[in-house]
Structure 1
Amino acid sequence: MTVPPGIRVASAPISWGVCEVPGWGRELAARTVLAEMSGLGLRATELGPPGYLPRDPEALRALLDEHELALVGGFLAIPLHTDPDAALAAAEDSAALFAACGAGLLVLAAATGLAGYDRRPVLDAEQWRTLLDTTARIGEVAARHGLLAVLHPHVGTHVETESEVERFLTDSDLPLCLDTGHLVLGGTDPVALARKHPGRIGHLHLKDVRADLAAEVRAGTLPYTEAVGRGLFTPLGEGDIDIETLVRSVHGAGYDGWYVLEQDTALGDTSPDDLPRQHTARSLAHLGRIVGRLPSG
């Protein structure tokens, strides 16, 4: 497998079914996941949920070096609307680890504090102000460690819907992690968002989505975790998102960050162990065809 030249491509453990949600699914061993990433030609990964990979910088660097992988950064889903001190402490801990391992990104999500992503309470005006203030302070923590903090709109968090994404962009200076799949789940067209706010795209998670299942999740008739188990996210080019137009848009706007192949996966008891590798290989091949058609220079 060949990684497309001219862009920086990475993956993440969630594509192998490794998630912070309790009871999400079966987890493959870390060395298996990293070896499969490396075998596909990928040379970088996000960290995955706390505890999956080592939290000791020396041990983490050694494990990544063993598989010839660099660390892009990591996902930190924490409540931002309450207990700012706890949020800042968590951000400080993760930022220090990421920086010690040569990463450049802290990917932040406004968690509800509830388990999983199937329910979320509504914030009042004061809680929204606290969320914004905490986010700004975490941005400063990240910057002190030489990292860029980005806010990840995500299903089941307090920045999910199109109106919440636009409100955040208006009220905050923090850039976004443009996650194609989670934006669709929240009712946002990722291509339109990239065109409207090209200067606010700080990081990119590429995933494709089945529109029929996404509509059920938005309508509240299908829980998110159940939808994932039913194949909500597909390899690139096999769902209903216009991935090529999105890539062309961000590339044409001068985006030079990571393109992370991140297909949220939940492995059931009968799921083949090789399924994540096969899906990532198909996404990588599709992205390669898109990049091959981009204008040169």
Structure 2
Amino acid sequence: MQTMKGPGLFLAQFVGTDAPFDSWDAITAWAARCGYLGVQVPSGAGALLDLDRASQSRGYCDDLAGQAAANGVAITELSAHVQGQLVAVHPAYDEMFDGFAPTALRGNPKARQEWAVDQVIKTIDASANLGLDRMAAFSGALAWPYLYPWPQRPTGLVEAAFDELAARWRPILDHADSRGVDICFEIHPGEDLHDGSTFEMFLDRLDQHPRAMMLYDPSHYLLQQLDYLQNLDIYADRIGMFHVKDAEFNPTGRQGVYGGYQSWVDRAGRFRSLGDGQVDFKAIFSKLTTMGFDGWAVVEWECALKHPEDGAREGAAFVRDHIIRVTDRAFDDFADGGTDDAANRRMLGLEV
């Protein structure tokens, strides 16, 4: 066992054009004031870092980490969620996901995918230059439009989608292996890797690639009505990152898991700020601690109701109060009778 690191904060939902969210110096200082010890950084956020430079220059990365440290936080991981999404996009989503890519690439899926792969590769290299051994990403999706089996799916359709998904990610994962970096895929609806079964289908096609890991976020599991505690038992060896995000699921006579095309605030399942939802974080932190999870507990704020700055401030305290400082002794050590092999054998009725 070991004491988990944290609290950390994922900056993706906070970076913007207004102070203190518009620069690396200001946002890291703000995060520290909120009570965070680390920040998880979206690698595509140009206001926070220059990914091209970070992928090429250890000196630049040292400066970036040094400025954060001077403000009181460490860089926990880099995230390539947005770029990973574009590694695999079904044509039905081309127009919606074009907004994730540079303007010049919009309307050109092939160029957009090549750019995305390059961005993920650069995020791997930047992570290595920062001395980080893991990063986050989405997998993208080719089979997602066919999630529900009606009309009946043609034989081999899903298999072909996962064959292609694995083929696109294998060279990326091989590069990650060469740099000593795990890619932690956030298991997330909208991605082909959205639960344990789909993650296993992916791994099988990658020959159980050692660098393909999971980003564990129980909020997505609760909204799918998946057993998020048993998931920890099943995938203990594959969980490399942890997003601390809450959610609630309150089905009604009108809607359930699918949400009836309603806005987030009106869905039966919705994300909530930490402590306002239904996720059993005491059990999660206990299991992760017992497993020896060696990563950060990183708050990802998403809530249909609460202001993000309030959610961030409360989230830091929530995680700090849930991190279990591992004991260095057994609670009954005071009653220890010492070690005596001869006495042990006598107590068992064995010859001494």
- TM-score for both structures, normalised by structure 2: 0.65
Separation in 2, partners of 1:49, 1:222: 31
Q: Is it true that 1:282 corresponds to 2:314 in the alignment?
A: yes
Partner of 1:98: 127
Deviation of residue 169 (structure 1)?
5.1
Q: Is the contact between residue 20 and residue 26 of structure 2 (CA under 8 Å) also seen in structure 1?
A: no
Separation in 2, partners of 1:266, 1:238: 11
Deviation of residue 181 (structure 1)?
1.5
Report how many residues are paired.
Answer: 272
**Cα displacement string for residues 110-153 of structure 1 (whole angstroms, at most 9, x for unaligned residues):** 2249xxxxx94336322211212333322221222232212211
Partner of 1:116: none
- Residues 21-100 of structure 1 aligned to structure 2 (within 5 Å): 28-30=21-23, 31-48=25-42, 50=44, 51-55=46-50, 56-57=53-54, 58=60, 60-61=64-65, 63-77=67-81, 78=84, 79-81=86-88, 87-100=116-129
Q: Is the contact between residue 282 and residue 322 of structure 2 (CA under 8 Å) also seen in structure 1?
A: yes
Separation in 2, partners of 1:138, 1:216: 40
Q: Is it true that 1:8 corresponds to 2:5 in the alignment?
A: yes
**Cα displacement string for residues 227-262 of structure 1 (whole angstroms, at most 9, x for unaligned residues):** 179893323332111111111111111211111111
Deviation of residue 295 (structure 1)?
5.5
Partner of 1:148: 182
Q: Is the contact between residue 246 and residue 275 of structure 2 (CA under 8 Å) also seen in structure 1?
A: yes
Amino acid at match of 1:72: T
**Cα displacement string for residues 85-134 of structure 1 (whole angstroms, at most 9, x for unaligned residues):** 55542221111222223332221212249xxxxx9433632221121233
Partner of 1:23: none
Gaps of 5+ in 2: 55-59, 90-109, 147-156, 330-352
Larger radius of gyration: 2
1:227 equivalent among 244, 255, 264: 264
Return structure 1 stretches of 4+ with deviation > 6 angstroms: 228-231
**Cα displacement string for residues 42-100 of structure 1 (whole angstroms, at most 9, x for unaligned residues):** 23211125124121332644653452332222222324447675554222111122222
Amino acid at match of 1:138: I
2:162 equivalent among 128, 132, 154: 128
Instruction: Report the secondary structure of 2:323's partner residue.
Output: helix
Gaps of 5+ in 1: 20-25, 114-118
- TM-score for both structures, normalised by structure 1: 0.76
Distance 1:35 1:145, change over 3 A: same
Separation in 2, partners of 1:27, 1:124: 45
Deviation of residue 209 (structure 1)?
0.6
Instruction: Report the secondary structure of 2:201's partner residue.
Output: helix
**Cα displacement string for residues 197-237 of structure 1 (whole angstroms, at most 9, x for unaligned residues):** 21111111111112238x968314246xx417989332333
Distance 1:37 1:88, change over 3 A: same
